[in-house]
Amino acid sequence: MGRLSAAAAVVVLLGAWELYARAGGIDELVLPAPSAIGETLWTDRGLLAENFVVTATEIAGGIALALVLGCALAVALHVSRPLRGTLYPLLVASQAIPIVILAPLLVIWLGFGVLPKLAIIGLVCFFPVVVTTLDGLRAVDPDQRKLLRSMDASRTALLRFVELPAAAPAALSGARIAVAVAVVGAVFAEYAGSSKGLGHLMLQAVPQLETPRAWAAVVVLATFSVTLFTALGALERRLTHNAGGSP
């Protein structure tokens, strides 16, 4: 039912867009009709695929990086109260740095390769991972901690056997939120300086008056982020289901 209504919404939206574009409501160089974008998707498939691989690698790598760093940071903040007091405000502040400013600087610093992209995507993605994972770690039942203490469990044992497994779904939940910002981050990173990738393709397509190509790249990116979002959601459900959290 949900899927059906989602499909219906897309059809209605595309239909309205198509009608508006065909009625001459807007210059096709600004907003091409969906049919024109669809055509470009097909004719430029080689070009799109080639650049998609580049951007998808950056996004997947950036999210993986954010997951690893985010979880490690969340554990550190969880274990040490002074660290939490000192670093948490800085983490929040790090999210206020506009990527538009940061991206070109990172390109100067790290070059035109994949590194500045990973750094930017990692930067915009790790924050939701830290927040959700930290909440997951702290949500562990106090009685559960008491039980482990009565077994003489060390801090490491408590983390390993109770807190980390309990927080794993929360970390994935954070990664899911990160997917949405990762795509925007990747495009910005490529804008700042690159020779390939979907963001680079968009940047070139607009001044070349190839607007349908830019839109086709958007469609590819959007599809990718929906897929990634769904996959992470499925993984998270699997973890919670294994935990018997939901019937």
* Residue 171, number of CB atoms within 10 A of its CB: 24
- Interaction of residue 245 with another protein, rule CB under 8 A: yes
Report the SS3 class of residue 209. coil
- Interaction of residue 243 with another protein, rule CB under 8 A: yes
SS percent in the chain: helix, strand, coil, step 5: 80, 0, 20
When the beta carbons of 151 and 226 are compared against another protein, the nearer one is 151
Residues 102-141, mask of contacts with another protein (x by CB under 8 A): ---------------------------------------x
**Total residues in contact with another protein, by rule CB under 8 A:** 22
**Binding residue for another protein, selected from 96, 143, 195, 207, defined by CB under 8 A:** 143
- Interaction of residue 151 with another protein, rule CB under 8 A: yes
Q: Is 63 left (phi over 0), alpha (psi -120 to 50) or beta?
A: alpha
- Interaction of residue 57 with another protein, rule CB under 8 A: no
- Interaction of residue 235 with another protein, rule CB under 8 A: no
When the beta carbons of 99 and 148 are compared against another protein, the nearer one is 148
Q: Which residue's entry shows tokens 């607007």? A: 211
Shortest distance, position 162 Cβ to another protein, whole Å = 7
**Binding residue for another protein, selected from 24, 150, 195, 207, defined by CB under 8 A:** 150
Closest CA to 160 of 140, 131, 135: 140
Cα separation of 130 and 125, whole Å? 9
Report the SS3 class of residue 233. helix
Q: Are 123 and 69 in contact (CB under 8 A)?
A: no
Shortest distance, position 82 Cβ to another protein, whole Å = 21
CA 210 centroid distance within chain: 27
Cα separation of 238 and 213, whole Å? 38
Shortest distance, position 137 Cβ to another protein, whole Å = 15
Q: Under rule CB under 8 A, which residues in 153-172 are in contact with another protein? A: 153-154, 157, 161-162, 165
When the beta carbons of 195 and 246 are compared against another protein, the nearer one is 246
Closest CA to 49 of 223, 225, 198, 219: 198
Q: Tell me how far apart the terminal alpha carbons of the chain are, to the nearest angstrom.
A: 21
**Binding residue for another protein, selected from 71, 148, 179, 221, defined by CB under 8 A:** 148
Q: Which residues of this chain interact with another protein, rule CB under 8 A?
A: 141, 143-144, 146-154, 157, 161-162, 165, 239, 242-245, 247
